[in-house]
Amino acid sequence: MHSLKKLFAAALAMPLLLNAGQSAIAQSAPSAQGKTELLWFGQAGFRIKTPEGKMILIDPWITGGPKTPPQYKNDLAAIGPIDAVLVTHAHVDHIGDAPAVAKSNNVKLYGPADMVTPLITLGILPADLGWRFNKTGRVTPLPGVKVTAVQAEHSSLLVWKNPATDKLESHPAGEPVGYIIELENGFKIWHMGDTGLFSDMKFISEHYKPDLVLIPIGGNFTMAPDDAAYALKTWVKPKMVIPMHYNSNPIAKGTLAEFQAAMKGSNIKIIPMIEGETVQF
């Protein structure tokens, strides 16, 4: 094996977890050269720091998230400068603060084509900040970073309060997606978005070969812990997995403990996180 590859494999095997108290320190200090860093805000919201130091925000339900750490919940700017925003679908716990962050950073919001269109036509997002694409479409939001939209078995609807009437309106918002996010060094993250089980998870994994999978386990709206474990062990088989989309909604009752129990016997590395925590690869 090439020595660089060896080094990379060793780095993959040793994710560095920092607890919530340490995360502020980790953010203020320059991260190690070439490291990928994930900060979890809760639910499906992550900030990914790329090996080249760029910041990608995905599904940021921050000011509205019940488990968002207060330093971010009370001050959206505390998440720091963002270089690109990704959204998997229009449900509020995913679109959350995405338009606000895209506008305050003057960066593009990438999402399913028919979700971005109503954001623009309703005046939620300026047209020049919306990037429409769709499943199997690939974008390069930052130099050396490739993002491919993939299937997610779910739904998408935009609920918006019309300022003219002060009433809530429901707008069709296209189909939900997941994302294969390939960073500058080739490290691949599959953010599954919200999804139920579908057997093309096997195809997606074989075709894109993700190193790390972010998988919903809460149930009710997505896979529950047992189905998430089935998908991972039977079809996806990644090196590492971070469970997400649990602990934020009382009717999505799936727990980390249930997921860990269902994964027993698998050699897939489970990286449990708590809201506000960061992990490096």
Cα distances (angstroms) measured from residue 269 to each of 13, 44, 180, 232: 9, 19, 19, 11
Query: Could you write out the DSSP letters of every residue in 29-83?
Result: SPPPTT--EEEEEETTEEEEE-TTS-EEEES---SS-TTS-HHHHT-GGGG---S
Q: Specify the residue for token string 């930052």.
A: 142
Work out the angle at residue 70's Cα, subtended by the Cα atoms of residues 77 and 33, and round it to the nearest 5 degrees: 55
Toward Zn ion, which CB reaches closer, 54 or 67? 67
Kindly state whether residue 182 participates in binding Zn ion, applying the rule CB under 5 A. Answer: no
> What are the two backbone dihedrals, phi and then psi, of residue 154, each rounded to the nearest 5 degrees?
-160, -155
Which span sits near Zn ion by CB under 5 A: 24-32, 36-44, 133-141, 192-200? 192-200
Give the whole-angstrom CA distance, residue 69 versus residue 248: 12
Toward Zn ion, which CB reaches closer, 153 or 194? 194
Toward Zn ion, which CB reaches closer, 194 or 211? 194
Rounded to a whole number of angstroms, the minimum distance from the CB of residue 152 to Zn ion is 9
Q: Which amino acid is present at 86?
A: L
Q: Give residues 75-94 in contact with Zn ion (rule: CB under 5 A).
A: 91
| SS3 state of residue 251 | coil
Which span sits near Zn ion by CB under 5 A: 30-38, 107-115, 191-199, 255-263? 191-199
Toward Zn ion, which CB reaches closer, 104 or 220? 220
Which span sits near Zn ion by CB under 5 A: 52-60, 128-136, 186-194, 238-246? 186-194
Toward Zn ion, which CB reaches closer, 148 or 156? 156
Kindly state whether residue 194 participates in binding Zn ion, applying the rule CB under 5 A. Answer: yes
Rounded to a whole number of angstroms, the minimum distance from the CB of residue 94 to Zn ion is 6
Q: How many residues bind Zn ion (CB under 5 A)?
A: 2
Query: Which residue is at the shortest CB distance from Zn ion?
Result: 91
Give the whole-angstrom CA distance, residue 95 versus residue 250: 20
Rounded to a whole number of angstroms, the minimum distance from the CB of residue 174 to Zn ion is 13
| SS3 state of residue 223 | coil
Give the whole-angstrom CA distance, residue 262 versus residue 232: 10
Rounded to a whole number of angstroms, the minimum distance from the CB of residue 220 to Zn ion is 10
Rounded to a whole number of angstroms, the minimum distance from the CB of residue 59 to Zn ion is 9
Rounded to a whole number of angstroms, the minimum distance from the CB of residue 273 to Zn ion is 20
Rounded to a whole number of angstroms, the minimum distance from the CB of residue 221 to Zn ion is 5
Under 8 Å between Cβ of 241 and 205: no
Q: Which residues bind Zn ion (CB under 5 A)?
A: 91, 194
